Structure 1
């Protein structure tokens, strides 16, 4: 028998971001400076940044994925994101976690990314 509780119906697969935090916009802009070397679109618009969680102490937790688990830069990309966000004024600490659930899909891309890559 599986002891892992099933998610409650209606529970989002991706945790919500701290969009009302004063640092949220700066953190998203910093994430937009990071690119997958094989795709000419930033990782934020690709939909690889799942959650940006910022607590009252300005500690930032980012959950991100990659286009595929075998991505050649899988080990480096979280560090690139942390390096982009950490220098921001007010950020106390950054923790970037790679997650594979839910798996990334092309439907997670912004319209700008789809346009840039010729999918629209």
Structure 2
């Protein structure tokens, strides 16, 4: 299974372009948009979870979102899709896309909740 569908990739790129444009505004003080996650990825053999909102339009292998490696300290940041695609677990398992995930709140709301609980709940 591909980590991103064509539609998800397009939405992530659109969000990334909007954030890049906003950051380029002269009066902006580093604020970007607080998008709803577009996709949820997870590690089927462990606690890793990623809620992704944007792809970097300049380097579309870099994705931004809430990242949780399952060790109790979820954080917002970037990760390379190629690195997630290269991960292999027991019996060759791979990182997967949650086909049933529907975001119900903004990324910052998920991050706030994850900070309190020590893990992403989505």
TM-score by length of 2: 0.27
Instruction: Return the index of the structure with the highest Cα Rg.
Output: 1
Q: Whose strand proportion is higher, 1 or 2?
A: 2
Q: Whose helix proportion is higher, 1 or 2?
A: 2
